[in-house]
Structure formats: C-alpha cells, structure tokens
Amino acid sequence: MHESWKPVLQTEFEQPYFKELSKFLHSAYAQKTIFPPKQQVFSAFTTDLNSVKVVIIGQDPYHGPGQAHGLAFSVRDGIQLPPSLQNIFKEIHAETGAAIPSTGNLQRWAEQGVLLLNNVLTVEAHLAGSHRGKGWETFTEHIIQYLNEHCDHLVFLLWGRDARNKAKLIDTKKHLILESAHPSPLSAHNGFFGNNHFIKCNEQLKQWGKPEIIW
C-alpha cells in the first residue's frame, strides 16, 4: 500500500471488528482457495491517498482463477474480460468513442487517482458473496467516511445496490455522487448503459480544476 494510507489503515487494523475479520481470513486462506492472493488484498490502496479524485465502489472480487488482483472490476493482463468489465468498456466507448482495450487491468486508472474499492475485499473461489458479513463492509464504510471527511471534491461512482447503499455516508455539498444500476449483464440494461458517468465525472473534475481521467 502507499505510505499515505498507512495511518488510516493501521487505525482500522487495531479495531475489534478487524481483528475478528483477520482471524476469519487467516483460517480461510489456510484451508480454502481465496481470491485475490493474500498479498494483493489491499492493492486498491497503492493509489496515493492525496491523489484520489474518483472513487468506484465494487461488490466483491471476481471468484474465478487468476481474475481478482485487488482492484475493483479489474483483472490482470492476459485474463479474459469479465462481462461486467466488458459492459464498462462498452459504455466508455459509447460515451467517448475510445477503443475497447485488449486488457482489463485498470491499474492505469488507479495511477490517475481512481480508487477502485470493493465493498468486500475477499471471496472464496467460485462462491460469489461468500465473505459478506465478515467485517469487510464495516472496513469499507470507514474508508468512505474518511474520504468524505478529509478529502475535498471527489466523484463517487456508485453502481448497483451495494455501492448505492454507501451514498448516505457522502456529503453532496463537498462531493459529487453518480448512481446507476450495476454493469452486470443482469442489470446493465436497467440504467447502467447510457448513464454517461464517465463524461459527467470528467466534466465535474474539470470544473473543480482537476485533471480529467483518461478512461
């Protein structure tokens, strides 16, 4: 993780809820196949806290082999694009005309100040949602509360129920919230496609005098 995050995360690591979560994870990683790999669980926090401009909240990591690497919606180079990520790229193409990338590795977004944070940071192989209710949701809420209080002028992209439930933590006098359906094939046609979030995000960043994201 980036040095800028260490004091924030250390405070969380010392909380009773996180100590219970750590016990659960220690056992889970020892007994089962868990994604992402242990050393990549906190990869979202390699983005410099002081450079964060946009926050995208995912659900839980991809649960197929080789997919999850700690950034919400992202997959490592060489991995086939999951359907949700395909739909994200389709929407970017529809809005901006940008070509659909050959790689789903979103590290390039993270390096521009996009925090790609899942609601739940780990998952058992082939069992979506298997680590819900273990403490990660509290962790994510605390991170969003910290960003809300200590940062100015962030754009939050909240797609789907889990992410949209976080809207209540965000002060809309300081930040912009953009909400829609999730990019999953099950819901993308119910409001994700055509949401124009990538254009709207950049328009707001420009108004704030911040560099736009090259999606």
Annotated catalytic residues are 60
Mapped onto helix, strand or coil, the DSSP state of residue 177 is: strand
Two tokens, residue 117: 């944070």
Q: Do 160 and 59 contact (CB within 8 A), yes or no?
A: yes
DSSP 82: P
Q: Do 126 and 68 contact (CB within 8 A), yes or no?
A: no
Two tokens, residue 135: 């403490």
Q: Please state, in angstroms and rounded to a whole number, the distance separating the CA atoms of residues 109 and 171.
A: 24
